[in-house]
């Protein structure tokens, strides 16, 4: 996932409508103009970090990167069709938002919901 924060040298009312639409349609996280001070820009970045820390792809990526290099290289899951993926492979799939990566994210969310709705309070026991 790429988080984009745009800081312009122009006031926002001088940015063309088509450029603003492009920013919005391409998932801009925030837009800051020259009138915003440094404190405001730090606040924007802080919100972006907080947002990213809650994203499933970010959480999965962090979990994978906490494993040892050896753990990340060995086969970790095998699909019904027989294709094996290491954690490193899954990391690439998640980062590139391939069908495999998106499906993994969806399955993790569904599993979490299932566990929590069965009154399971901790995922580690």
- Each residue of 78-123: pLDDT tens digit? 988 999 999 999 999 988 889 998 898 888 888 878 877 776 556 5
User: Which pLDDT score, from 0 to 100, does residue 75 have?
Assistant: 94
Strand boundaries in 4-89, DSSP class E: 4-7, 28-32, 75-78, 84-86
Q: Which residue would you say has higher pLDDT here, 89 or 44?
A: 89
Q: Could you give the CA distance from residue 11 to residue 96 in angstroms, rounded to a whole number?
A: 34
User: Which pLDDT score, from 0 to 100, does residue 10 have?
Assistant: 64
Contact 94, 107 (CB under 8 A): no
Q: Could you give the CA distance from residue 33 to residue 37 in angstroms, rounded to a whole number?
A: 9
The mean per-residue pLDDT over the stretch 30-39 comes to: 73
Confidence of residue 57 (pLDDT cuts 50, 70, 90): confident
How is residue 48 written in tokens?
A: 């972006």
* Local structure of 8: helix, strand or coil: coil
What pTM was computed for the model? 0.58
The mean per-residue pLDDT over the stretch 59-86 comes to: 91
């Amino acid at each position: 996932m790429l988080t984009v924060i745009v800081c312009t040298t122009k006031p926002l009312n001088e940015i063309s409508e088509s450029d603003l639409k492009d920013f919005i349609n391409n998932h801009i996280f925030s837009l800051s103009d020259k009138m915003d001070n440094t404190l405001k820009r730090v606040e924007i970045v802080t919100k972006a970090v907080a947002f990213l820390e809650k994203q499933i792809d970010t959480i999965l990526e962090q979990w994978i990167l906490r494993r040892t290099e050896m753990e990340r290289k060995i086969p970790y899951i095998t699909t019904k069709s027989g294709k094996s993926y290491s954690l490193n492979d899954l990391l690439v799939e998640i980062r590139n938002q391939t069908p495999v990566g998106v499906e993994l994210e969806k399955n993790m969310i569904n599993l979490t919901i299932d566990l929590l709705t069965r009154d399971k309070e901790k995922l580690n026991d």
